[in-house]
C-alpha cells in the first residue's frame, strides 16, 4: 500500500475530560491521509461543544445513546477509507502510529495491531503491553485479545462480519477479532504506538452487573459451537476465570464459588494449572 485513506472512528459518550487530547493525537499524526469520524453517542456533557472548537476536518455523527458497538458500526458504515480503525475517546496515538501500521499491510494481511502503553488519568506512562505475535491458539484457547488501541483493518473485514455485536458491552472487540480469525491474517508491529488510559471510569476496572460479567462465557461458548479449535475445555475455563475476576470486583462470592465448581467439573487438571499461576501472584490478580 502507498497512502490509502484511513478512517478513524472515535465514539464519544460524556468524554469531555479526555476527548481533546484524543483528537489532538489523531490530528498530529505524521500520516496525513486520515478521515476522522466522531460519533456522539448521546453525550450530555460538554464533549460536543469542545469538539466543535476544532478547526480541523472531521465528520460528526449524532445518535441516541446506544453504546460503543452501535457507535462504531455507525461510523464505519459511513467511512470512505480502505483501512479503518477506532480510538476510544480517552486513549491516544503516538505520532507515527498510523504511518507504521499502514506500511505493515503487506502479504495479504487484513488486520495490523501494535504494542501499547498503559497511561494514567494524567497521561503518565504506567507500563507497556506486549502481547506478542498473533496466535490463533492464543486467541481462541487462552482468550488473548491481541489487537488493542490503534489497530487498523481492511474495511472488507467489517463488511464481511457486519461489525461489532451490538448486544455486547464488555467484550465486543474480542468477539469481533474471534470471528475475524476465521477469515483474516493478523500482523503485529513490535512497537508501542498507542496509549490505553486507565482511570476511575474505565470499563476495564469499574464494577459491572452479573450479566455483563458473564459475556465472555457466552461469546466463547458460541464460538466453539462452530469452531472446535484447540482445547475447548481450556477456553471455557479461561472464560470462567475472566468472569470470576469481574464478579470478584462486585463481591459476588457465591457466584464465584459456582464458577470455580463449574471449572473443576470441566477439568480439574486444567483448572488447577490455570488458577494456580494466579494464586502464586495474589488471589485473582490478572
Whether residue 115 sits in one domain with residue 227: no
The CA distances from residue 150 to 76, 82, 142, in Å, are 15, 16, 22
Whether residue 225 sits in one domain with residue 114: no
- The CATH number given to whatever domain includes residue 67 is 3.90.550.10
The total of other beta-carbon atoms located within 10 Å of residue 142's CB is: 14
Q: Helix (H, G, I), strand (E, B), or coil: what is residue 67?
A: coil
Whether residue 83 sits in one domain with residue 186: yes
Q: Is residue 180 part of a domain?
A: yes
Q: Is residue 49 part of a domain?
A: yes
Whether residue 51 sits in one domain with residue 160: yes
Whether residue 270 sits in one domain with residue 147: no
User: Which has more confidence, 214 or 281?
Assistant: 214
Q: Is the pLDDT of residue 1 over 80?
A: no
Q: Is residue 245 part of a domain?
A: yes
Q: Is the pLDDT of residue 228 over 80?
A: no
User: Whole domain around residue 13: which residue ranges?
Assistant: 6-197
Residue that terminates a domain, selected from 136, 165, 197? 197
Whether residue 225 sits in one domain with residue 157: no
* Section 206-217 average pLDDT: 84
Q: Is residue 204 part of a domain?
A: no
Q: Is residue 67 part of a domain?
A: yes
Whether residue 171 sits in one domain with residue 57: yes
Q: Is the pLDDT of residue 215 over 90?
A: yes
- Percent of the chain residues topping a pLDDT of 90: 76
Total count of domains within the chain: 2
User: Which has more confidence, 2 or 96?
Assistant: 96
Residue that terminates a domain, selected from 162, 197, 232? 197
- What would the pLDDT profile of 236-266 be if each residue is shown by its tens digit? 999 999 999 889 888 888 998 998 899 999 9
* Section 146-169 average pLDDT: 96
User: Whole-model pTM above 0.85?
Assistant: yes
Per the structure block, which three cell numbers stand in for 268? 480439574
The per-residue pLDDT for 283 is: 47
- What would the pLDDT profile of 73-94 be if each residue is shown by its tens digit? 999 999 999 999 999 999 999 9
Specify which residues 8 forms β-bridges with.
36, 85
Residue 286 confidence class, pLDDT cut points 50, 70, 90: very low
Residue that terminates a domain, selected from 129, 162, 197? 197
Residue matched to cell numbers 451490538: 166
* Section 213-230 average pLDDT: 84
Whether residue 262 sits in one domain with residue 226: yes
Q: Is the pLDDT of residue 224 over 90?
A: no
Q: Is residue 237 part of a domain?
A: yes
Whether residue 72 sits in one domain with residue 118: yes
Q: Is residue 286 part of a domain?
A: no
The answer for residues whose C-beta is within 8 angstroms of residue 124's C-beta and 6 or more apart is none
Whether residue 256 sits in one domain with residue 154: no
Question: What is the average pLDDT score of the chain?
Answer: 91
Q: Is residue 203 part of a domain?
A: no
| Distance from C-alpha of 94 to C-alpha of 128, rounded to nearest angstrom | 13
Q: Is the pLDDT of residue 192 over 80?
A: yes
b or e along 22-49 (b: 16 or more beta carbons within 10 Å of the residue's beta carbon)?
bbebbeebebeebbbbbbbbebeeebbe
- What would the pLDDT profile of 13-26 be if each residue is shown by its tens digit? 999 999 999 999 99
Whether residue 254 sits in one domain with residue 127: no
Whether residue 93 sits in one domain with residue 23: yes
Amino acid at each position: 500500500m502507498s497512502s490509502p485513506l484511513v478512517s478513524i472512528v472515535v465514539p464519544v459518550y460524556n468524554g469531555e475530560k479526555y476527548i481533546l487530547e484524543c483528537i489532538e493525537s489523531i490530528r498530529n499524526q505524521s500520516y496525513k491521509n486520515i478521515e476522522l469520524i466522531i460519533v456522539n453517542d448521546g453525550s450530555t456533557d460538554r464533549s460536543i461543544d469542545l469538539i466543535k472548537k476544532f478547526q480541523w476536518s472531521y465528520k460528526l455523527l449524532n445518535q441516541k445513546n446506544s453504546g460503543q458497538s452501535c457507535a462504531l458500526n455507525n461510523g464505519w458504515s459511513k467511512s470512505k477509507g480502505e483501512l479503518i480503525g477506532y480510538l476510544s475517546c480517552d486513549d491516544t496515538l503516538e505520532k507515527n502510529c498510523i504511518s507504521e501500521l499502514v506500511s505493515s499491510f503487506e502479504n495479504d494481511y487484513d488486520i495490523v495491531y501494535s504494542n501499547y502503553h498503559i497511561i494514567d488519568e494524567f497521561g503518565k506512562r504506567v507500563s507497556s503491553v506486549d502481547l506478542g505475535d498473533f496466535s490463533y491458539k492464543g486467541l481462541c484457547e487462552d482468550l488473548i485479545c491481541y489487537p488493542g488501541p490503534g489497530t487498523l483493518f481492511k474495511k472488507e473485514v467489517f463488511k464481511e462480519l457486519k461489525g461489532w455485536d451490538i448486544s455486547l458491552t464488555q467484550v465486543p472487540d474480542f468477539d469481533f477479532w474471534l470471528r475475524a480469525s476465521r477469515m483474516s491474517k493478523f500482523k503485529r508491529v513490535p512497537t508501542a504506538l498507542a496509549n490505553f488510559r486507565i482511570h476511575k471510569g474505565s470499563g476495564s476496572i469499574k464494577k459491572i452487573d452479573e450479566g455483563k460479567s458473564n459475556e465472555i462465557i457466552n461469546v466463547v461458548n458460541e464460538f466453539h459451537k462452530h469452531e472446535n479449535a484447540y482445547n475447548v475445555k481450556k477456553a471455557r475455563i479461561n472464560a470462567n476465570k475472566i468472569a470470576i475476576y469481574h464478579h470478584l470486583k462486585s463481591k459476588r462470592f457465591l457466584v464465584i464459588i459456582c464458577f470455580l465448581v463449574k471449572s473443576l467439573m470441566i477439568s480439574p487438571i486444567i483448572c488447577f494449572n490455570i488458577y494456580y499461576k494466579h494464586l502464586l501472584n495474589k488471589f485473582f490478580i490478572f
